[in-house]
Chains A and B, each alone.
Chain A
Amino acid sequence: SQKIEQNSEALNIQEGKTATLTCNYTNYSPAYLQWYRQDPGRGPVFLLLIRENEKEKRKERLKVTFDTTLKQSLFHITASQPADSATYLCALDMGYNQGGKLIFGQGTELSVKP
C-alpha cells in the first residue's frame, strides 16, 4: 500500500532561520504533490502544488522541491517567523482517475522561536 512519511519529530528553529521539512513516499509515483498548513483545531490550508516535471516551485518565502528519483519532497520556509509555527502536511495527488484523492502524511509540527 501507499506509504508517505514526514519528519516524525517536531522541528524547533530560531526566527530568521530556514526551516526544511521532509516528505518521503513509497510504492507510488504521483504526478503531483501538495503541501498544506494546519493550525491547531482548524482545517488545513493549501500552500503549494508541484508537478512531477517541476524540480522546484517558489511562492514568497516558501520553496518546494520534488525529486521523483529519491521519492522525496522538501519544503523550505526562509526567513522564518513565529507566525509560521504550525503543522505542515504533504499530500500525494492520486490524479483524476482516482477522483482527485489525496493521501496525506502525518504532518510535521514546526515551532519558530523569537
Chain B
Amino acid sequence: DGGITQSPKYLFRKEGQNVTLSCEQNLNHDAMYWYRQDPGQGLRLIYYSQIVNDFQKGDIAEGYSVSREKKESFPLTVTSAQKNPTAFYLCASSGTGPLYEQYFGPGTRLTVT
C-alpha cells in the first residue's frame, strides 16, 4: 500500500525544546517537501529536497532544519529558535519536474507551551 506517513499525529513540547517530526514515503518519489499551515491560512513551504543529500530552504526556513539521508525519509526538526512553532505540519512528495502533483501525508499537529 503506497503512501506517505507522518508521525506522530499530535505532538506536545515545552518551549525551548527541539522536536523532530517524521516523514516517510514508499512512492519512490525523488522530491519531498515540508509545509506549515496555520489556522485559516494556506500552506507555506519550509524546506524541500529534490534528491538525496540535497535540500533547499523554502519561504520560512528560519528555526527549522532537515536532512535527506535516504530517498524515503525527510525528517524535520523544529528548533528552539523557531519563535512560533505551534502549527499543523504537512509533508509531501512528488516526482521531479513540472506536471507532477504532490502527495501529502496526514500531518502532525505540534503544540508548544
Known A-B contacts A42-B106, A43-B105; the reply to A100 vs B100 at CB < 8 A is: yes
The 8 Å CB contact of B31, one of A31, A95, A99, A106, is A99
Most buried by A among B33, B43, B107: B43
* Interface residue count on the A side (C-beta < 8 Å): 25
Asked if B92 lies at the interface with its beta carbon under 8 angstroms from chain A, I say: yes
Asked if B90 lies at the interface with its beta carbon under 8 angstroms from chain A, I say: yes
Cβ contacts under 8 Å, A51 to chain B:
99
* Interface residue count on the B side (C-beta < 8 Å): 31
A71 to chain B, nearest CB (A): 17
The 8 Å CB contact of A101, one of B45, B88, B105, is B45
Can you list, as one digit per residue, whether each of B12-43 has a CB less than 8 Å from chain A (1) or not (0)? Answer: 00000000000000000001010100001111
Cβ contacts under 8 Å, A114 to chain B:
none
Q: How far is the CA of A104 from the CA of B43 in the complex (A)?
A: 6
Residues of A within 8 A of B (CB): 4, 31-32, 34, 41-46, 49, 51, 89, 93, 95-96, 99-107
Residues of B within 8 A of A (CB): 31, 33, 35, 40-45, 48, 50, 56, 58, 88, 90, 92, 94-107, 109
